[in-house]
Amino acid sequence: MAMTVNRAANSVSRLHCLVTRQQFPQFAHKISAITNGVHHLTWISEARATAFNAFPALQNWQRDPGVFARVKELHQDPAQGPRFRSYFGEAWRKDTAILYNYLNTMLARHRNQKLETWIDPPNFLSSLDDRHCRMDPRVFTIGFARRFSTYKRADLIFDDLDALCEIIVTNHWPINFIFAGKAHPADEPGKSVIKLIIDSQQELYKRSKGLANLIFIPNYDMKIAKMMVAGVHAWLNSPKRPLEASGTSGMKAAMNGVPNISIMDGWWAEGYHEGLTGWKFGAEGPVAEADLSESPESLLYREDAASLYQILPTILQQFYGNEQAEPSHPHHCPFLDQAIMNLSLNVPIFNTHRMAAEYLSKYKLRLPPAQEQEMNHFRALYTSDCPE
């Protein structure tokens, strides 16, 4: 009905546009795309904001997210570059410390609750003694938080625990997985994925010889989202392609420079640049009718998990560098370099200023001349498109 009565329909990424036209061929002429964005003022952390404020080249970043394109020159400038790296790395460490304080306080609280009520805590770590309960912020930290729908495959990275733990144990690379999210109350399969995540904690801990921890933060909301996207070292997104229309939590991570590890779905097909913004894994290529299925047997767990295990060692190697004993915080240089390039490439594009400007021009909504000029500037940052 919506397609019939409206004169236009918007997809929220380039790939989503192709898929929507495939789903509704009779309305293909009405369907176009404006790629989503997130509100940079909401999602850039306080510590990152303070760091950016210290550089005249980034002046006005609050009003104009396009300013972040200058981060590349700033980074390469012999006089300013080292200072920028140091400020940015320090801000990241602060955000990680905030996240770990939250985690450690939460784990201790759950442990006390267990002693008082005999109710199992939502995290296996809370059932260990105090010494084991303190999580180490120097450990490579992967974040995952979103609605628990089956197509988002939150449990994909734990599909083959043997393969995952072999990477971790052989190289002695510790990892912390921080997960959060809610399922719709009526979504029974979605809720069972949450249970599966919580139930794998102990097994992961045991098989990785204590090197891998999986923590679930209950009551996911925007506050927790903001803390996570700034505090983790990489953001994981593992939906079944092409079912993630856009995905926005990964953009929130990118606003803080945090690289994504993602399936080439939704916005990531536009935001991924090899070696510069993060990593890709899983199926790619043209989308067939059968790929649109959300049925359990067509979710491609085995294939996409294997692809993820293939790239994981490269990521860990880049984070830890060559020193095995002590993680080289501040992050090993190539890791920090990539985060800085991520800022300069993706913040100017995946923000709501640019998105709103594109909507205004597509639907010929008029603004006073002064604002119109500002909108033109934002439109010049990127043009969403939908290839034929």
Instruction: List, in sequence order, every residue forming a beta bridge with 217; answer none if it has no partner.
Output: 180
Could you tell me which of 213, 224, 220 has the C-alpha nearest to residue 125? 213
Closest approach, Cβ 130 to ligand PLP, in A, equals 31
Report, in Å, the least distance between residue 221 CB and ligand PLP. Answer: 5
DSSP state letter for 282 = S
> Least distance to ligand PLP from the beta carbon of 223, Å?
8
C-beta of 121 vs 266, nearer to ligand PLP: 266
Sign of CA dihedral 337, 67, 377, 19: positive
Q: Which is nearer to ligand PLP, 37 or 137 (CB)?
A: 37
The pairing of strands 260-263 and 140-145 is: unpaired
Distance of CA 245 to the CA centre of its chain: 15
Task: Please state the closest distance from residue 234 (CB atom) to ligand PLP, in A.
Answer: 14
Residue 125 DSSP one-character state = G
In this structure, the chain runs to a length of 388
- In the complex with ligand PLP, the residue whose CB is nearer, 125 or 258, is 258
CB of 1 to ligand PLP, least distance (A): 25
Strand residues in the chain grouped as ranges (E): 9-11, 31-33, 140-145, 175-180, 212-217, 234-237, 260-263, 278-281
Q: Which is nearer to ligand PLP, 85 or 240 (CB)?
A: 240
Q: Considering the complex, state which of residue 133 and residue 229 has its C-beta at the smaller distance from ligand PLP.
A: 229
Compare residues 18 and 38 and give the one whose CB is closer to ligand PLP.
38
Closest approach of ligand PLP to the CB of residue 43, in Å: 9
CB 263 to ligand PLP: min, Å: 12
Interface with ligand PLP (CB under 6 A): 146-147, 220-222, 225, 247-249, 252
Which CB sits closer to ligand PLP, 126 or 238? 238
Q: Report the residue number, 47 or 225, with the smaller CB distance to ligand PLP.
A: 225
Find the angle CA(24)-CA(34)-CA(358) to the nearest 5 degrees: 140
State how far the Cα of 82 lies from the Cα of 371, in Å rounded to an integer: 37
Identify the residue whose tokens are 């998990």.
Answer: 305
Instruction: Report whether 47 contacts 258 (CB < 8 A).
Output: no
- State the residue for tokens 């939590």: 249
| Smallest distance, ligand PLP to C-beta of residue 249, A | 3
The answer to whether 265 and 241 are in contact (CB under 8 A) is yes
Q: How far apart are CA 272 and CA 67, in angstroms?
A: 20
Task: Tell me which residue has its CB nearest to ligand PLP.
Answer: 249
Q: What minimum distance in Å lies between the beta carbon of 120 and ligand PLP?
A: 25
Phi, psi angle pair for 263, to nearest 5°: -60, 150
Residue 173 Cβ, how far from ligand PLP at the closest point, in Å? 26
Minimum CB distance to ligand PLP smaller for 247 or for 348:
247
Rounded Cα–Cα distance for residues 239 and 262 (Å): 8
For residues 161 and 225, give the distance between their C-alpha atoms in angstroms, rounded to a whole number. Answer: 26
Inter-CA distances, 64 with 59, 61, 158, Å: 9, 5, 40
- Closest to ligand PLP by CB, 244 vs 358, is 244
Distance of CA 351 to the CA centre of its chain: 15
CA distance 107 to 135: 9
Q: Which tokens in the block code for residue 341? A: 């390039």
